[in-house]
Amino acid sequence: MKRCEITGKGITFGHNITFAHNMNKRIWKPNLQTVKVVINGQMMKVKVDVKTLRALKAADSVEIARLLKKNEATLSPRIRKVLAK
């Protein structure tokens, strides 16, 4: 399933509504990109949504650590394993 490994942002469900107010079910997928990130001195390939990617590009190592700590509850098991070391 498409899910950001840092923020946990995933698929959103809803309806397309026409002018005649006919409703069709649809889903919105997050715009995920694979990025190389250094976490605890280890290079990892991580799938993140573009909003998080913009924050990562502008951040240094201290800000990346702060971002990971802020989203600690939604981190993927792979990232948690690296942070536990």
pLDDT mean across residues, the chain: 93
5-25 pLDDT, tens digit each: 999 999 999 999 999 999 999
CATH 2.30.170 describes domain 12-84: yes
Measured between alpha carbons, how far is 71 from 67 in angstroms, rounded to an integer? 6
Token pair belonging to 52: 């998080």
Question: Does this model's pTM top 0.85?
Answer: no
56-65 pLDDT, tens digit each: 999 888 898 8
Asked whether the beta carbons of 17 and 23 are under 8 A apart, the reply is yes
